[in-house]
Amino acid sequence: MIDTRIRWCPACGAALEILDRFGRQRPVCPRCGYVVFFDPKVVVVTVVWQGEQVLLARRNMEPARGEWSFISGYVDRGEMVEDAARREVCEETGLTVSVDRLVGVYSTAENPFILIVFSAELRDEAQTLKAQDDEVSELMFFALDALPTLAFPTDTQILHDWRTLRNAPQ
C-alpha cells in the first residue's frame, strides 16, 4: 500500500510519480530521482507483571478504543528501546518498572509497525496506579486466568510468548 499523503519531492519540490523501484511501487521524483521509502514505526510494548497478574490498559483512542491491551508507545529517535519501554509505562501509568527481558519482536506485512515487546516487573508495589494521559482511560491488573478480551490478535501471541518465557501454566 502506497502512502499518497506525500506528493512532493522532499529534495527538490517536484511532483512525485509512482514507479517501480527496488522491487516495489514507490513515490519517485522524475526530476532528481529521489525515492521515498516508508520506514515502519518502531513501537515498544511492555508486559508489566506483578505476581501472577498482568497490567492492561483500556485504550482511549483508535484503533480498538475501549478495548484492553498492553502499555505501548513509539520509540523516539536516539532512544534505547528499553528506556522507551520504561518511559511509556511511566507516562501512561505513573509506575516505575524494571525491564527484565525481551519477549519478542513482531511484525506483519499489512501493519506499518514493528513491535518490540519487553517483560517488566513492577519495582515497588506501593506505587499508585493511575491513567496519566489521554491514550488510556483505565488501568487494571488482571489475573492470568481472568483476562478480558484483548484488543489485537498480536496481544494474544504476546501473552502466549510471555507466559512461555515465564513457564506459567497455560
Question: CATH number of the domain at 41-166, out of 3.30.70.1230, 2.130.10.10, 3.90.79.10, 3.30.460.80?
Answer: 3.90.79.10
Asked if pLDDT for residue 112 goes beyond 90, the answer is no
pLDDT grade for 29, boundaries at 50, 70 and 90? very high
List the catalytic residue out of 52, 92, 125, 138: 138
Catalytic site residue 138?
yes
pTM of the model: 0.83
Residue-wise pLDDT tens digits, 35-86: 998 888 999 999 999 988 999 999 999 989 999 999 999 999 999 999 999 9
Asked if pLDDT for residue 170 goes beyond 60, the answer is no
Q: CA 93 to CA 90: how far, in whole Å?
A: 5
Please state the domain extents for the chain: 1-38, 41-166
Asked if pLDDT for residue 33 goes beyond 90, the answer is yes
Distances (CA, A) of 46 to 21, 99, 107, 145, 148: 36, 8, 16, 19, 17
